[in-house]
Amino acid sequence: MKLFNYGLALLIVCVGLVVHDLPSLVLAQSTPLVNGIIVGIETNDNDQLITFVVSDSTGTLTTFKVSDSTKYGLENQAGDRWVTSHKDGSEEAARRLSEHQERFVPITVSYSEATEDSGQITGIATSVVDREQGKLETNLGYIFAVFAITWILFFAYIFYMGRKQKVVQYEITQIKASLK
Amino acid sequence: MTKVINLIVSPIALSAVLMGTTLWLIFVWVPTETNQGAVQRILYLHVPIAWGAMMGIIVVSAGSFLYLWKKNEIWDRLAVASAEVGVVFGGLALLTGMIWAKPVWAVWWTGEAKLTTTLILFFIYVAYLMFRAYFPPGTQRQRLAAMIAIIGAIDTPIIYFAANLWSQAHPPLITGPAADSESSLGTSLGVVLLASTVSFTLLFILLVKMRYEIRKSEDEIKHFKRNHQLDSAVLNNISQARGTS
């Protein structure tokens, strides 16, 4: 009975979370991304980054504006990571992106508020990171796999213990009956 | 009414609520890590599960040591229960780590120290359980199994320090006394990792407790049968029930 209660409570919580989080997960899955190399950078008089242009593998150019909330996760040639927001490092961002442009380092940009004007896409970059081994959107499949496997195994183990408990219960009943 | 109150304040309900809160923190509250993106959220499951696997072998070896010392079956039962739950946590730590490695390292598996020593831990659990399953019952089996568990526990500190001792692809320690301050997690990420660790620790304790109670009942039935000559009809019924379940 205890095992059943535990399984039921966990199941209710998990189903509730799926229902609650499904919209945000779907939204995350539909966040637009561009993978490509930087082909242009625009800075202001203070050397702070204003816009940059990325060319993807098909040659499509996308212009990205940056905002204070834009986040960066970029590595230099030595492999040192630099993580910050535009608000805290707009000059360093321009310098790092210039370095990426010179080295033709591929990056991944997630963006919002995309507009398209005569084939030219423009958006506000929300994050700029070194291109990952896999695309960010396909990574959600790995998260799903991890969480699904974990909970399936835990529930399977609880089920296995429930079966064992049933056998023990049956044996106790038989012994009690034989002693009457 | 008392039943409802008991259920609400029970460790089971507490564990379920904590787990639910942890999942909410992982998927809704914590910001997405910039470098790895969404896949970094696997950390909040992988690290606490790996911690559970390590905690498991510590409990198994402590239980085994106390059994050898006190000769009390309670400790042997605790060791077996913990080994069984530990093998689940150990297997999951390997699986979740492999799935995380694929998008981040581009391979499912590498032969580096942290991964290899964790695989060894899994094999130690399996060896312990297989030994107990196939060796003839008796105190000899319990003593030898206890020795396997105590020797197996040597692997725990090696796993813990592996990433720091042999700098390879696996990131260095991010929590605990040996963690490097430069590689430690930020506040919000650390809070979620802590909450997740507490949730999985409680789940580990609950599962061990449940398995322990079942094991205790099994042992009591065995002792009862040995001490009381049950008539053959009852024994036949029991063996039939075992065969069908």
- Domain harbouring A127, CATH code: 2.40.50
Statement to judge: residues A36 and A121 lie in one domain? yes
pLDDT at B115: 87
In angstroms, the Cα distances linking B213 to A35, A40, A67, B71 are 55, 67, 58, 19
What's the pTM? 0.66
Alpha-carbon B69 to chain mean position:
24
Between chain A and chain B, the number of residue pairs with CB atoms below 8 A apart is: 144
Q: Show residues of chain A in contact with B230, CB under 8 Å.
A: 175, 178
Q: Does some domain include residue B231?
A: no
- What domain range includes position B117? 11-213
Q: Does some domain include residue B6?
A: no
User: Cβ contact (<8 Å) for B103 and A134?
Assistant: yes
C-alpha–C-alpha distance, residues B104 and B100, integer Å = 7
Burial A152-163 (b: 16+ CB within 10 A, else e): ebbeebbeebbe
SS3 call for A46: coil
CB A53 within 8 A of CB A64: yes
Question: What would the mean pLDDT of B75-92 be, rounded to a whole number?
Answer: 93
Of A73, A161, A171, the CB nearest to B238: A171
pLDDT at A133: 46
Q: Which residue has the higher pLDDT, B3 or B115?
A: B115
Residue with tokens 């199941």: A11
Statement to judge: residues A68 and A8 lie in one domain? no
Task: Count how many domains chain B has.
Answer: 1
Chain A window 12-71: which residues touch B at a Cβ cutoff of 8 Å?
Answer: 12-14, 16-17, 20-21, 24-25, 28, 71
Q: Which residue, among B155, B147, B131, B169, has the nearest Cα to B57 in the 3D structure? A: B155
Q: Is the dihedral of CA B39, B43, B45, B49 positive or negative?
A: positive
Statement to judge: residues A97 and A153 lie in one domain? no
- Which pLDDT band holds residue B84 (cuts at 50, 70, 90)? very high
E strands present in chain A: 33-43, 49-56, 61-75, 81-85, 107-117, 120-130
Q: Does some domain include residue B244?
A: no
Q: Which residue, among A148, A114, A149, A110, has the nearest Cα to A132 in the 3D structure? A: A110
CB A78 within 8 A of CB A99: no
Helix axes B187-227, B43-70, angle to 10 degrees: 40
Q: Which residue has the higher pLDDT, B116 or A23?
A: B116
Statement to judge: residues A100 and A151 lie in one domain? no
Q: Does some domain include residue B55?
A: yes
CB A5 within 8 A of CB A13: no
Q: Which residue, among B112, B102, B119, has the nearest Cα to B167 in the 3D structure? A: B112
Provide the shortest C-alpha distance from residue A165 to chain B (in Å).
6
Q: Does A122 touch chain B (CB under 8 A)?
A: no
Statement to judge: residues A96 and A160 lie in one domain? no
Statement to judge: residues A103 and A149 lie in one domain? no
Statement to judge: residues A36 and A82 lie in one domain? yes
Q: Does some domain include residue B88?
A: yes
Which run of H or E residues covers position A162? Answer: helix A136-179
Statement to judge: residues A7 and A59 lie in one domain? no
C-alpha–C-alpha distance, residues A163 and B2, integer Å = 28
Q: Which residue, among B46, B40, B28, B104, has the nearest Cα to A25 in the 3D structure? A: B28
Provide the shortest C-alpha distance from residue A118 to chain B (in Å).
31
pLDDT at A134: 47
pLDDT digits (tens, 9 = 90+) for B148-192: 888 888 888 888 777 667 766 566 666 555 555 554 566 777 888
Provide the shortest C-alpha distance from residue A105 to chain B (in Å).
15
β-strand pairing of A81-85 with A120-130:
unpaired
Q: Show residues of chain A in contact with B184, CB under 8 Å.
A: none
Q: Which residue, among B28, B165, B238, B202, has the nearest Cα to A19 in the 3D structure? A: B28
Q: Does A98 touch chain B (CB under 8 A)?
A: no
Residue-level pLDDT, tens digit, chain A, 180 residues: 555 566 666 666 666 665 665 555 555 545 677 878 898 999 888 888 889 998 877 778 889 999 888 888 887 777 677 888 888 888 888 998 888 888 888 888 888 877 777 667 788 888 888 875 445 555 788 888 999 999 999 999 999 999 999 999 998 888 888 777
Q: Does some domain include residue B68?
A: yes
- What domain range includes position A52? 31-132
Q: Show residues of chain A in contact with B19, CB under 8 Å.
A: 10, 13
Statement to judge: residues A105 and A62 lie in one domain? yes
Q: Which residue has the higher pLDDT, A145 or B32?
A: A145
Statement to judge: residues A69 and A19 lie in one domain? no
Lowest mean pLDDT of A144-158, B38-52, B67-81, B228-242, name the range: B228-242
Task: Count how many domains chain A has.
Answer: 2
ipTM of this complex = 0.82
Phi, psi of A67 (to 5 degrees): -125, 175
